[in-house]
Structure 1
Amino acid sequence: MYKTQIRPKRLFKVLLPLFLLLSLAILSRPSTYSTRTIADENHFYTHAKNITQGFYADATNPNILDGPGYPILLSVPIALDIPFFYMRLVNILFLSLAAVYLLLILRRYVPDRPALVLTYLFGLYPPLLRWANLMYAESLMMLLLIGFCYHFIAWYHKEGKYKRHFVIALFLLGYLALTKIIFAYVILAALSLCLTTLFWKRTYKAYRLKGLTFILLGAMAVLSPYVIHNYQLTGKFFYLGTHGGITLYSRATPFENEWGNWFSGRHVLNGDTPTGRGEVVANMDVLKKNHEALFSSIDSLTWIEKDSILKAKAIENMKKHPKKYLKNTIANVSRIFFHFPFSYRLQNLDTLGYLIPNIFIVVLALLGIYPAVTRFRTIPKELVVLMAISLIYLGGHTLLDGRGRYLIPVVPIWLCFYAFVYFRILSIKINKPKEIGSP
């Protein structure tokens, strides 16, 4: 572990410019000042408003759009009738605290200067800033995720009151699953992997997977009230949302020139365009022609019934059209990393906001695989565990919906992992002229 010159009292000082830049990035956006909900903000607002009235989703026809993690926080300012502007500004605090956590992690593995530079690069990561001025869950998600990573690492090394870090880590991970439901499945997959590793006791012990198992179980305990709530509401166990079916159906589309990106019934039946994408959407009549019959037939059903039928149809399409599903999967991976391609959408410069920074991430990650594998035993085991969790998450989104914003959660984990690879395993230098010699 690196000796650091950045003491806790100096953390806020060295990150103050980042705080100011984040503030500028958010305050300079006209949408920050909107008095109406924008795009997916409506999902979170609806659930938060419901919470202030004593329920989360309508009991007669529940439409569960998102996990309750972010709506729970939003419900307080909504109950107090605080303007949306101030709710959006809270993202500055979330991202600033996330940056503090990230710097605390990075300074363990690399020198202070690169740790600080990497923290700034992440804080100003364009795909993250793209959503930072809206009432979206991304900023809270980053604070919970990076906070979990920090407390997990501190527990892993038994630092200070490490049992306290253990409790904080499991709570943050559990609340992360409440905020972004896919992490509930990541927890289950990681838990299954931990239990499978019991057959290799040396690995199980070396990576402290017993403790990790209890953290995962603790996180599931934090999630459990939501699971119980939904079971009582729907009669379905571990039913976390009513829109998984449309996601799977979109991914398994068998029609040519459709690449598996998400669409919904309102796009098919009403001709609605994705919010903010009206100028770049094209050929919506083709989308309607391909899917109108199915969506018309289920339009009068409940959300749960629609979800079940769409899941069944998605599985049917996967079986009948495996080659097309493979093409959609490849397109989905491309969307995760490069935000391209999308069906029924013309190209515009927005894609560059994802493409340019993510090319660097992908290339450096690929180049770092070989040195990481050759010196695998030298990589801190806690970073290996976190990298495994990030890969489980990516695997989940590969099978589900893919778009550039879904890469955001793995970026801080990859920063920490590959920072160790590039600064501790690799050694790159410019030779002096006498060392180069004559050609």
Structure 2
Amino acid sequence: MANPRAFFQTHFHGLLAALAVAAVYSTLAVLRHSEALIWDEGRYLDCARNMTRGFYATDDNPDFVNGPGYPIVLLPFVLAGAEGLLPARLLNAFFMAGAAWFAWLLLRHYAGAAWAAAGAWLTGFHPTLLWMGFAIMTEPLAMFCMAGFAWSFCAAVRGGGRGMMLTAAFLLGWLTLTRVFFGHVIMAAALPCLALLPFWKSWRHVLARTLVILGGAFLLCTPWLVHTWQKTGRVLCWSTNSGELLYWMTSHHEGENGHWFTTEDAVAHPQLAPNHKDFYERVMRMPILQRDAFLMEAAMANLRADPARVAYNWACNLSRMAFGFPRSFLPEELRTVVLIAVNGPVIALASLLGLVGLWRWRSVPPEVWLLAVFAAIYLGGGSVAPALPRYFALMLPVLMLGIATVWSRNVRLSLMKSAG
């Protein structure tokens, strides 16, 4: 049995980060608590309430905007009524503390305590998560699952037992049920693993374990996919709002740059309504599946009409994902400066050290490369739809892992002795 004192001494900085994160997010949940719902809180709570009544979406309106991962977590709080709102918000403190702890464990193995502490504090106190972490939103749970998956995946691929492989598969599966876009990431990540498995003998064991974990995560999602198939008739239907997302991503009227807007904005905003009101009023009267297909057709028409402007929107999307700007017809906010100050160095280091890692690729363990591919698929695919900084923040543990691993194994900094 491990010595508790030795464990505490070894992991002091990780425990300190986790406790600090828990304290701050608990305080924010209490101070910012309100009975009034904001952002997407109402939708998640409605999904949870529907589940208590025996359904997720009705046959006549199979609207699957988000997966069931977070609504399932909210079930006990919904059953408690209005008194459950504050405990549901306080739960985010646990998720964020867990994410910081997982980041510590992940980075400490590959790069030592200093890098691990930096990763834990950045994961726990990223400004996007601090801004949203008090609310009944998916980000804290998603970050918990992502950081936990990264840690358990690396441990499993290095040679961990079945328990670690099951943990990695479960956390990735629950992450996917929480943020269904990861379903596409799982399928896309499996393809190169399958293609390389017969030929790359030195990585065969690593690739095989990766495929087992990806397969286990996908298996956890099959009840959801069966349910959406039964309701929509679509195979591998992760959600039913991709048409809307791509519509705004490809819209290129004067002043637009791919930023997403609500239905209310489309029909009431003075600079949007002239171009979108009539179209949206017609579309919103359609059944959900017809609406999604119609919006997808409109998005493809936008792409064919002006590919260069859509490419411009995509470039803006990359900036929005990282820094939160530009946003069509909206004033910029001071927090953009904070995001540039925090995310800018991370992106710069990840880009520079990514080149160093490619140059000396054998110095980077296979599991770190595989997570880097996973992150690249997620960020690349996510940039095709309207993106937000909270989507980028999920990859912080993986980006920090790549930076720390390459730096600690390939870079040495020292001051030259003075000539005097």
- TM-score calculated relative to the size of structure 2: 0.94
Matched residue of 2:314: which SS? helix
How far off its partner does 1:362 sit?
1.4
Provide the C-alpha distance between the structure 2 equivalents of 1:231 and 1:242, rounded to a whole number of angstroms. 11
How far off its partner does 1:94 sit?
0.7
1:212 counterpart residue number: 210
Tell me, yes or no, if the aligned pair for 1:49 and 1:75 is still in contact at 8 Å. Answer: yes
Which residue identity lines up with residue 361 of structure 1 in the other structure? V
Which residue identity lines up with residue 127 of structure 1 in the other structure? T
Please say which of residues 23-32 and 408-417 is displaced more in the overlay.
23-32
2:165 counterpart residue number: 166
1:246 to 231, 244, 259: 244
2:325 counterpart residue number: 340
Provide the C-alpha distance between the structure 1 equivalents of 2:383 and 2:77, rounded to a whole number of angstroms. 35
2:232 counterpart residue number: 234
C-alpha change, 1:410 and 1:6, in structure 2 (3 Å) is farther
CA RMSD of aligned residues (A): 2.0
Provide the C-alpha distance between the structure 2 equivalents of 1:8 and 1:190, rounded to a whole number of angstroms. 37
In the alignment, structure 1 residue 180 sits paired with structure 2 residue 179: yes
Residue pairs, 1:233-382, within 5 angstroms:
233-269=231-267, 271=268, 284-382=269-367
How far off its partner does 1:66 sit?
0.9
Provide the C-alpha distance between the structure 1 equivalents of 2:78 and 2:261, rounded to a whole number of angstroms. 29
In the alignment, structure 1 residue 46 sits paired with structure 2 residue 84: no
Which residue identity lines up with residue 107 of structure 2 in the other structure? L
Per-residue deviation, residues 62-107 of structure 1 (Å, max 9, x unmatched): 2222111000010111112243111101111111111111111111
How far off its partner does 1:262 sit?
1.1
C-alpha change, 1:114 and 1:6, in structure 2 (3 Å) is farther
2:100 counterpart residue number: 99
Tell me, yes or no, if the aligned pair for 2:325 and 2:332 is still in contact at 8 Å. Answer: no
Question: Which consecutive residues of structure 2, in runs of 5 or more, have no partner in the other structure?
Answer: none
1:37 counterpart residue number: 37
Per-residue deviation, residues 383-411 of structure 1 (Å, max 9, x unmatched): 00001000000011111121111101111
1:279 counterpart residue number: none
C-alpha change, 1:90 and 1:30, in structure 2 (3 Å) is closer
Which residue identity lines up with residue 370 of structure 2 in the other structure? V
Matched residue of 1:208: which SS? helix
1:396 counterpart residue number: 381
Tell me, yes or no, if the aligned pair for 1:41 and 1:134 is still in contact at 8 Å. Answer: yes
C-alpha change, 1:13 and 1:374, in structure 2 (3 Å) is closer
Tell me, yes or no, if the aligned pair for 1:32 and 1:88 is still in contact at 8 Å. Answer: no
C-alpha change, 1:394 and 1:420, in structure 2 (3 Å) is same
Tell me, yes or no, if the aligned pair for 1:250 and 1:260 is still in contact at 8 Å. Answer: yes
How far off its partner does 1:203 sit?
6.1
Matched residue of 1:61: which SS? coil
C-alpha change, 1:50 and 1:357, in structure 2 (3 Å) is same
Tell me, yes or no, if the aligned pair for 1:390 and 1:410 is still in contact at 8 Å. Answer: yes
C-alpha change, 1:8 and 1:184, in structure 2 (3 Å) is farther
Tell me, yes or no, if the aligned pair for 1:190 and 1:392 is still in contact at 8 Å. Answer: yes
1:86 counterpart residue number: 87
Which residue identity lines up with residue 358 of structure 1 in the other structure? N
Provide the C-alpha distance between the structure 2 equivalents of 1:318 and 1:17, rounded to a whole number of angstroms. 46
Provide the C-alpha distance between the structure 2 equivalents of 1:31 and 1:343, rounded to a whole number of angstroms. 32
In the alignment, structure 1 residue 195 sits paired with structure 2 residue 194: yes
How far off its partner does 1:238 sit?
1.5
Per-residue deviation, residues 335-393 of structure 1 (Å, max 9, x unmatched): 11111101010122132232221111112122213321221111011100001000000
Provide the C-alpha distance between the structure 2 equivalents of 1:258 and 1:165, rounded to a whole number of angstroms. 46
Provide the C-alpha distance between the structure 2 equivalents of 1:214 and 1:147, rounded to a whole number of angstroms. 17
C-alpha change, 1:45 and 1:12, in structure 2 (3 Å) is farther
2:413 to 428, 434, 439: 428
C-alpha change, 1:23 and 1:286, in structure 2 (3 Å) is same
C-alpha change, 1:46 and 1:169, in structure 2 (3 Å) is same
1:383 counterpart residue number: 368
Provide the C-alpha distance between the structure 2 equivalents of 1:199 and 1:253, rounded to a whole number of angstroms. 43
2:64 counterpart residue number: 64
- TM-score calculated relative to the size of structure 1: 0.90
2:393 to 400, 408, 411: 408
Provide the C-alpha distance between the structure 2 equivalents of 1:85 and 1:9, rounded to a whole number of angstroms. 34
Provide the C-alpha distance between the structure 1 equivalents of 2:101 and 2:129, rounded to a whole number of angstroms. 16
Tell me, yes or no, if the aligned pair for 1:141 and 1:176 is still in contact at 8 Å. Answer: yes
Aligned residue pairs: how many?
415
How far off its partner does 1:305 sit?
1.3
C-alpha change, 1:290 and 1:38, in structure 2 (3 Å) is same
How far off its partner does 1:41 sit?
0.9
Provide the C-alpha distance between the structure 2 equivalents of 1:213 and 1:385, rounded to a whole number of angstroms. 11
Per-residue deviation, residues 20-69 of structure 1 (Å, max 9, x unmatched): 35423552467731112211111111101111111111221122221110
Question: Which consecutive residues of structure 1, in runs of 5 or more, have no partner in the other structure?
Answer: 272-283
Provide the C-alpha distance between the structure 2 equivalents of 1:13 and 1:398, rounded to a whole number of angstroms. 35
1:274 counterpart residue number: none
Identity of aligned residues (%): 29
1:137 counterpart residue number: 138
